[in-house]
């Protein structure tokens, strides 16, 4: 039998070391640098303001150094002078003076440093070594739990992801920027918007009145679209995603926590092909509808639309997937359906309201990090239903947002979908105006612009929203879609560029018994 271990290790000689084994290793730290930073803080009057955002007591490895920096931190918070004498007195008040080595050790710290010129650079090294120690502790803890087979692996993954996110947030620092380069960037953005035929600075949604109000969805914005159930939240974002991905070729990602990807695609088919959802599910299509399905569904092929239907998605999973989508597919906007179904597992919260607050805050941070708009759907509480008498004012308000007021605070734009005919149970309002299919898209909060109501047409049989101006002159049963026509024209133009269009279409016709291997979807 071959001997592979040290004889002095006894029974542990056959143990296989793990990747994170710290036995026999010294954790990352630099005692001389820590003492140099402390000495510089007591020599230079403005040194603390330079490093206060970089360091905290736990950043120091030596317990004595932690206590000394805590005393310096107390003096800085009270805006008191920081020098050898004041720090010594603060340590005495804290009861830590003898524990750190007495006044002699404090005086030695200042004598070892010539100046505080490099204090920021030294402080960053100390902070980096602290993060390295945190990662080692994190890895060791996760390793130990992974060996314990009583732990659920999925829960462990969520915990690991949450802890890693927490550590990474400690290292997210952004330096201040002088205004000149920002002004230059703003002028370039204005010039780019002026050169566009649409005159918009953001992403076009395909809803012209809404685009004029918002100038398009802006990068780094968190947009909340809220409504009561059955108002058409999912129908709106699917209509918008289809407009953007198919008509304007803008890569869009949809995270659906409520519906499967097949359900979403069926609704997209109904939306695009103008076939009722019930017929899509049952497959009972007449000849004309089969023709429409086979011809119009081509508009959806190769469109830059990406769907993720992971249930109970965590904010940490979303961050990982969103980064990959932006990096690999150049996704320009993310849609989440809907916010209250997300979770922040791996971290503990005192209430669901605190968890939702953390989710909304993280979504705003993610929008800024990726520099893309994030559109999140949200539920409203039941205040809308109880407000006013039957047929009274049921317009949503910002206070109706469900489970957390932080959603309203974190969002750059808050919108509501309101359909009067749903509550009035009538084709006309109190003034006798026709409200069939009328949907009000209410922009209730707009951090960078004005608020207003935008009229849209909702076609419930196709689960589709349309521009009011394009459909108001047509009857409700025969409303057409110029957007679809435009998409079809674009698809035809693309086909012409790629090659001649076949005069004989193998998928044309209305035979519902088309062989399975010949159906193009």
Per-residue model confidence (pLDDT) at position 335: 92
pLDDT value at residue 500: 34
pLDDT of amino acid 518: 38
The predicted structure's pLDDT at residue 391: 47
What percent helix, strand, coil does the chain show, rounded to 5? 50, 10, 35
What is the structure's pLDDT at 9? 41
Question: Per the residue annotation, which of 62, 258, 276, 353 is the catalytic one?
Answer: 258
| Distance in angstroms (rounded) separating the CA atoms of residues 157 and 345 | 10
pLDDT at 168: 72
Please identify every stretch of the chain with a pLDDT value under 70, giving residue numbers as ranges. Answer: 1-24, 169-178, 199, 345-350, 387-393, 402-405, 429-430, 470-521
Residue 353 neighbours by CB under 8 Å, 6+ apart: 403, 404
Task: Indicate if 276 belongs to the active site.
Answer: no
> Which tens digits make up the pLDDT trace of 439-489?
888 898 888 888 888 888 888 777 788 888 765 444 444 333 333 444 444
Q: What is the pLDDT of residue 29?
A: 87
For 318-331, what is each residue's pLDDT tens digit?
A: 888 888 888 888 99
In this predicted structure, what is the pLDDT of residue 171?
63
User: Which of 122, 203, 513, 165 is closest to 358 using CA atoms?
Assistant: 165
Residues forming a β-bridge with 305: 252
Question: How does pLDDT run across 386-411, given as a tens digit for each residue?
Answer: 766 554 567 887 877 766 667 878 88
DSSP assignment of 120-152 equals HHHHHHHHHHHHHHHHHHHHHHHHHHHH-TTS-
| Residues in contact with 261: Cβ distance below 8 Å, sequence separation at least 6, in sequence order | 307, 308, 309
| CA 379 – CA 388 distance, rounded (Å) | 20
Q: Which domains are assigned to the chain? A: 31-151 (1.10.860.10), 203-498 (3.40.50.300)
User: pLDDT value at position 174?
Assistant: 53
């Amino acid at each position: 039998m071959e001997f592979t271990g040290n004889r002095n290790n006894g029974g542990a000689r056959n143990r296989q070391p793990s990747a994170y084994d710290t036995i026999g290793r010294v954790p990352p730290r630099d005692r001389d640098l820590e003492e140099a930073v402390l000495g510089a803080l007591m020599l230079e009057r403005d040194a603390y303001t330079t490093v206060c955002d970089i360091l905290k007591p736990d950043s120091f490895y030596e317990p004595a150094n932690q206590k000394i920096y805590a005393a310096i931190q107390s003096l800085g918070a009270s805006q008191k002078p920081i020098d050898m004498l004041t720090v010594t007195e603060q340590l005495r008040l804290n009861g830590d003076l003898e524990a750190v080595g007495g006044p002699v050790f404090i005086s030695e710290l200042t004598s070892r440093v010539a100046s505080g010129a490099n204090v920021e650079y030294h402080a960053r090294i100390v902070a980096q070594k602290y993060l390295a120690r945190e990662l080692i502790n994190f890895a060791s803890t996760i390793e130990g739990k992974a060996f314990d087979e009583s732990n659920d692996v999925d829960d462990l993954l969520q915990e690991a992801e949450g802890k890693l996110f927490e550590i990474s947030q400690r290292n997210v620092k952004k330096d201040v920027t002088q205004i000149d380069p920002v002004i230059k960037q703003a002028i370039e953005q204005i010039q780019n918007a002026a050169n566009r035929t649409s005159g918009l600075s953001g992403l076009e949604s395909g809803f012209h009145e809404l685009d004029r109000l918002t100038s398009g969805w802006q990068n780094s914005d968190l947009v909340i679209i809220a409504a009561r159930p059955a108002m058409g939240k999912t129908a709106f974002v699917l209509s918008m995603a289809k407009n953007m991905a198919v008509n304007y070729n803008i890569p869009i990602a949809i995270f659906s926590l409520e519906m499967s990807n097949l359900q979403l695609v069926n609704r997209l088919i109904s939306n695009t092909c103008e076939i009722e959802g019930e017929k899509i599910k049952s497959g009972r299509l007449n000849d004309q509808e089969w023709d429409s399905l086979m011809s119009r569904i081509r508009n959806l092929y190769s469109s830059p639309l990406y769907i993720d239907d992971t249930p109970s998605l965590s904010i940490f999973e979303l961050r990982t997937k969103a980064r990959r989508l932006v990096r690999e597919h150049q996704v320009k906007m993310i849609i989440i359906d809907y916010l209250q179904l997300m979770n922040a597992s791996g971290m503990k919260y005192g209430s669901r309201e605190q968890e939702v607050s953390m989710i909304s805050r993280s979504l705003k941070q993610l929008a800024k990090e990726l520099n893309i708009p994030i559109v999140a759907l949200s539920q409203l509480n039941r205040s809308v239903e109880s407000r006013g008498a039957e047929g009274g004012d049921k317009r949503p308000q910002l206070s109706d947002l469900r489970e957390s007021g932080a959603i309203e605070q974190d969002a750059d734009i808050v919108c509501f979908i309101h359909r009067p005919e749903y509550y009035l149970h009538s084709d006309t309002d109190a003034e006798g105006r026709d409200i069939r299919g009328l949907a009000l898209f209410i922009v209730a909060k707009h951090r960078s612009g004005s608020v207003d109501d935008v009229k849209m047409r909702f076609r419930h049989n196709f689960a589709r929203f349309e521009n009011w101006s394009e459909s108001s002159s047509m009857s409700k049963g025969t409303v057409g879609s110029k957007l679809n026509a435009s998409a079809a024209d674009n698809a035809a133009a693309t086909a012409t560029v790629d090659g001649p269009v076949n005069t004989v279409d193998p998928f044309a016709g209305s035979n519902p018994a088309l062989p399975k291997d010949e159906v193009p979807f």
